[in-house]
Structure 1
C-alpha cells in the first residue's frame, strides 16, 4: 500500500460517523480510501445531512507526528503486518497504533480477562495460567485493567503479552499501572485503535474488548459478576468464532456467578492451561465476512429503498439480514442505504451485523 493510501485510510477512519463497519464498506465500494473521502459529502447529503466534516490533513499529520514521538508504529488495514486474526473480523478495525513488538499480534494468542476487584485466589490463578500459556508458546492478551487483567500481564511478561487499551497507547489507566505499561512496552506490545493522547471514555471499552477477543484464538474468563465487561468480551469471542472458557467458582462467591453462567451456556470449563490447549487443538473455522453485503450499487436503487430502510429502524438493534428481508431488496443495496443514513447521523452500524436507529 502506498503512503498516500495509508494516509487516506487513517483520515477516513478518523472521520465523524465512519466506524469500522462504514469504513469497510466504503473502501470496498469505492476501491480506495481516497475515492471514499471524495464521495463522503455527497453520500451524507443523500442520507439527509446538511453538512459533513472530514478531518483536515494537518490533524492527521499531527496524529502521525505524535505517534512517531512515542516511537509507535501505525498498522493500517491492508498492511502486510496487519494481524491476520483481526483482518478476518466482520468488520476489522481500520487502524491500530502499536508500541513494542507488533510481531506478537500475529502469533497464536489467548486472552485472559476477568474482574477488576478480584479475589486473591483469582489473581494467583490468572498469573499462573498466563505464565503456563506463555511457556506453551501462546501470547497472552488482556486489557491492562485492575485485577485479573493486570495479573495475566504480569504472569506472561517473560514470554510476551499484548495489552489492548481503550484510550490512546499513552493513556495509562489505571494510573497505578504506569510501571506495568512501561514493562509491557519493553517486553510485549501495547495496542489501541485510538489516536495517541486520546483519553478513554465509557463507550470505548466494548471496542477495546472486541480487539482483545479478535486477536485471540481463545478467551478465558477467570472471575466475573453477572454484569461485567469480561462477559462482553466472552460474547464477542463467541460471535467471532473463538473458543470461550471459564473458570468455575463457588456459588456463594458473586465473582463466580458470571463464569458459572458462561459454563451453563456452553463455555468450556478451565482448570488450567491444559484445558486451553485442548480446546485450541480442535480445528475451528473463523467466521468469514458475508460477501452479499459488498459491492457498488447504482444510486437509483439506493434511492428506491432508503426511506423504507429508515422506517424499519428503531433504537433496538436488529440483524442486517432481518432488515434486508423486511425491505425486500438485495443486501448490498440495503447496506449502501444504511451507510448513507449512518453518515447523516440517522442510523448506527454495529459490529456483529447489527444496526439500529441513532
Structure 2
C-alpha cells in the first residue's frame, strides 16, 4: 500500500478542488423564471426549483411573478428573464415583429385545462345569452377556443360578449360579485370556485390539441455554456418526477405552497393532470400539430399575419435544448 504523504494529500486536495470549482461556479449562475404562482400549469417549474433539478444542472433558479405575457416576452428579450412564460400568440407576434432572438423551448401541456364557470345563479350555457364572459385576453387562444366551445354548445357570436377580467383569481372574484355571467378559469382557481358553489358550465378537455403556454429563451443564452441543454434536462427530470405516482402527495404539497390552495382543492387537479384526463405533458415537448393550429387561428384572426408561417420558425433547435415533436 502506498503511503499517503502530506505532499500527496495536498496534491489530491488541489485536484479535487479543481474538479469541483466549475460546479461551484455553475451553482451561482442565475436563472430567472417567470411564472404565474397561482396557476397549476407551472407545476413543473415549482418542482424543478423545489426538488433541486435546476440546482443539479448548475443554476440558482428564482421563480418570479410575471405581470402578463407581453411583459414576460419583453423581459426575455432584454435578458431579465432567462426562461420566460408566455401565451403562444404573444410570443409569435413578437417574433413576427422582429424579435427573432427568442424561441420556444417547451410546453407544460398541449391541451387546455380550463373550465367555463358560471357566476352565482348561472347554471346553464343558455343563461349566458346577453351576458359578458370574462377572459384574460380578447385576441388569443382563450377567446378563440371559447368561441368554438360555445358554438358547439349552441351559442353563436352575438349571443354573448367577451370582456377582459384579468387573471383567474380576479375572474373568480368577478363571478362572485355577479358582474359577469361566466369566466374561463385556469386551475386550481376553477376547482376552488366550484367548491365554493359556482357551476362548471363546460370544460375544454375535449377540444383539439392546443398548447396554451410556452417556455421561451433567447437563442444566444441557450447556446452559451450549454444553458439551453442544462435547463431542458432539468425540466425533463421535473416532468418525469411529476408523473411518478409515488410522488403524488409531495407534488400536491409543493403545489399548495405556491398556489396557496388546500389539498382538497388540489387533489382533483392532480387527478385530471396525471390520472384521468392526463392533461399534463410527460416530456415537455411542444406538439407541432397543435402549435400549427394556433398559427392557423392567428392567420384567421389576421392581426399578426394572413398566412400562417411554419411552426419550425419559432422552435428552439434541439441542439440548444428545444423540445418539440
| Coarse TM-score class (shorter-chain normalised) | under 0.3
Higher relative contact order (CA 8 A, sep 6+): 2
The normalised TM-score by structure 2 is: 0.23
Q: TM-score, normalised by structure 1?
A: 0.22
